[in-house]
Amino acid sequence: ALTIGIVGLPNVGKSTLFNALTKNQVLAANYPFATIEPNVGVVNLPDPRLDVLAKLFGSERILPATVSFVDIAGIVRGASEGEGLGNKFLANIREADAIAEVVRGFSDDDVVHVDGTIDPKADMETINTELILADLETIERAIPRYEKEARGKKIGPEVLTAAKEAQEALQAGTPLSSASIDLDPIAELGLLTTKPFIYVFNVDEEILTDADKKQELAALVAPAEAVFLDAKIESELIDLDPEDAAELLASTGQDESGLDQLARVGFDTLGLQTYLTAGPKEARAWTIGKGWKAPQAAGVIHTDFEKGFIKAEVISFDDLVETGSVQEARAHGKARMEGKDYVMKDGDVVEFRFNV
Ligand code: GDP
């Protein structure tokens, strides 16, 4: 499964957030792997549509999609030089498919800031710099090898070109995700600044309720997504029953918990989407990549579904709710028979037809 690595400077609230995430963790039954590593938190992707489907179909249970987070131990200034946990940190971050960077926005005189002041912009720059330096080192180690391989015609010239362009961008302080370079030829290097980023601002209640301030912080990281939460409130929320939790959220001007927001934004940033199935046994969301076609999507349920794919009967969630049942949707021409070239859309309610 694709994972999101949680990173951030020391004392920004990573552990508080991660503990809340793991407390919120889905039960093992919902998750295809028996044991979950201690530094991994698997949470449900909130999807109110499943509740609606479960009511329509009288489903016994609801199975949402999940999102996996990995807690990646502390980055510090000098991580790229292998200081402290630096090397382990870089190896862990290399394995993550997207990065959620926790940035401290809360002030609390009892919690020391590693660099002395609360300055989200400076903190982000510290981390960016470490990642850029780490990538630069990777590139500079690879270039002599690429030069040799290019001379021996083992690789095409595009590999060296990509490496040199990347080196130049990094030297100018540009993360590779913001440079318009074709990095496919050097994908094997697993460069850190190519990964999609989400910024998680761990802020005080005053900021949570201050739209202007949030706008200002979001603008610092755009086009990357920003999520605002108060890690302390999040860790209180998970111990409350739904009504009290809703009340506490409302008092901070939110209608969704920060953890739920993070799950949604994270799932999207990983390039994932869902389609839905429903019946008397279960209402379920299935995880696929954006742009996947129907047979590949069917393969997520069972490989036989992909191999023997004939067609998919697709009803959009909205049409299904409006007509009230599959039969009515069919009667109103809202159930489409789609073939193997159909590109799945988020919220498709699907039944596959296949040969065994
Ligand atoms: P980490 O080093 O990034 O993992 O940070 P921790 O989660 O251990 O948090 C460091 C300290 O900050 C702890 O004492 C937390 O209780 C405190 N802390 C974390 N989040 C918040 C927050 O949102 N507000 C306040 N006031 N304190 C927080």
Higher-pLDDT residue of 84 and 58 is 58
Does residue 31 surpass a pLDDT of 60?
no
CA distance 327 to 311: 18
Q: Which residue type occupies 301?
A: I
Tell me, what CATH number does 328's domain have? 3.10.20.30
State residue 232 phi and psi, 5-degree precision: -65, -45
Same domain, 256 and 306: no
ipTM value greater than 0.85: yes
Of the residues 238, 272, 306, the one at which a domain ends: 272
Identify any residues that bridge with 229 across adjacent strands, giving them in sequence order.
Answer: 202
* C-alpha distances out from residue 114 to 76, 77, 82, 202, Å: 9, 10, 18, 16
3-class secondary-structure state, position 195? coil
Q: CB under 6 Å to ligand 1: residues?
A: 8, 10-16, 106, 108, 111, 202, 230-232
Mean pLDDT of 167-174: 96
Question: Which residue has its alpha carbon closest to ligand 1 atom 1?
Answer: 11
Does residue 355 surpass a pLDDT of 90?
no
- Given a contact cutoff of 8 angstroms between Cβ atoms, the answer to whether 276 and 53 are in contact is yes
The per-residue pLDDT for 81 is 64
Q: Residue 215 CB: number of other CB atoms within 10 A?
A: 10
**Annotated binding-site ranges for ATP:** 11-16
DSSP alpha helix (H) spans, the chain? 14-23, 48-57, 86-95, 120-151, 157-171, 205-208, 211-221, 231-237, 242-251, 258-269, 294-301, 303-307, 317-323, 326-331
The per-residue pLDDT for 39 is 81
- Total domain count, the chain: 2
Longest dimension (CA), the chain: 68
Q: Which residue type occupies 145?
A: R
Same domain, 78 and 116: yes
Same domain, 335 and 190: no
Same domain, 22 and 111: yes
Of the residues 272, 304, 323, the one at which a domain ends: 272
Same domain, 302 and 241: no
pLDDT-based confidence at residue 89 (cuts at 50, 70, 90):
confident
Same domain, 227 and 257: yes
Say if pTM beats, i.e. exceeds, 0.95.
no
* DSSP code of residue 276: E
Question: Which range marks the domain in which residue 99 is found?
Answer: 1-46+65-272
Identify any residues that bridge with 313 across adjacent strands, giving them in sequence order.
Answer: 337, 351
pLDDT-based confidence at residue 29 (cuts at 50, 70, 90):
very low
- What is the per-residue pLDDT across 63-76, written as a single tens digit (0 to 9) for each? 999 999 998 865 66
DSSP count for the chain of H helices, then E strands: 14, 12
Does residue 85 surpass a pLDDT of 60?
no
Expressed in angstroms and rounded, the spacing between residue 294 Cα and the centre of ligand 1 is: 45
Tell me, what CATH number does 73's domain have? 3.40.50.300
